[in-house]
Amino acid sequence: MEELKVLKPKALNQFIKEIKDIKQSSSNRSIKLNDNFIVRARNKIGKKVEIEKNKIFSSKYEMGKYLCNKLSPVDSSNLLNLPGLWNWFSYLWFDQVCPIENEKRKVYQISRYIYDSDFRKYYRHLILSSWFIYENHKKYSKVMLYNPVYQVGDMHEQLASRQDIFTNKNLIEVAYNLYWDENNESLKTGATSKNYDGNVRRLIEVSFQLDLTYDLHVMSADDILSLLPSEFNAWK
């Protein structure tokens, strides 16, 4: 077990440099930060919380669920105001967010590992978004968090990047009901494809249209589903 920690600015700067170096050199090496610049988080959150350092997650959904349970004693607003904590998580689970494939690490945009408090960008952070999306939508978050830990899928991008959509719990439940196959535990074929009628992009477009007449935030998922045009019938 590992007590929650926070990366101080010097450790963060080193971490960013190391990630960029690994990406540029196509290396598969690990990262070791200076322990003097990593401090325990208990002074920031007022509690001692421990995390399994070697915990392996099959998906971002499983990661989000785990973190939601572990971090439940801490006020979520405090966690959102601790970028050093989420950057430390990226360091702690670096082998999962930057796995080695074909003898080199898969390294994407730096925003997937380094926290940005801008709501337009927060969802890109692999670990923070897994926790935050699960925290807000529980089982219905599966439609966004089904990917491996190191990936951000198109459904995640479409739903989590739009504040009006993401904050509407009933609309996320609608997306789950339409596009998630509970029997096969997978996204339905074509859910994010522009080639299929009633895909998630159309759901977003239609929801914006409906919101001009209806208050979708107070309507149940079933009521919203009943308003959708016929192109969505095949998904129901």
128 and 210 fall within a common domain: no
131 and 172 fall within a common domain: no
Q: What is the pLDDT of residue 86?
A: 96
16 and 122 fall within a common domain: yes
Do residues 143 and 66 lie in contact, with contact meaning Cβ atoms separated by under 8 Å?
no
pTM of the predicted structure, to 2 decimals: 0.94
Q: Closest Cα partner for 150 from 206, 94, 200?
A: 94
Question: Has residue 172 been placed in a domain?
Answer: yes
79 and 130 fall within a common domain: yes
Q: What is the pLDDT of residue 89?
A: 98
96 and 170 fall within a common domain: no
User: What SS3 state is found at 101?
Assistant: strand
**What domain count does the chain have?**
2
Do residues 200 and 155 lie in contact, with contact meaning Cβ atoms separated by under 8 Å?
yes
169 and 112 fall within a common domain: no
Question: Has residue 25 been placed in a domain?
Answer: yes
Q: Closest Cα partner for 141 from 194, 45, 64, 57?
A: 64
Range of the domain at 190: 162-236
116 and 174 fall within a common domain: no
Q: What is the pLDDT of residue 118?
A: 73
Q: What is the pLDDT of residue 123?
A: 85
Consecutive 10-residue averages of pLDDT for the chain (236 residues): 95 97 94 95 91 96 98 92 95 97 93 83 90 97 97 93 94 98 96 96 97 94 97 96
Question: Has residue 146 been placed in a domain?
Answer: no
3-state class percentages of the chain: helix first, strand second, coil last, to nearest 5: 55, 10, 40
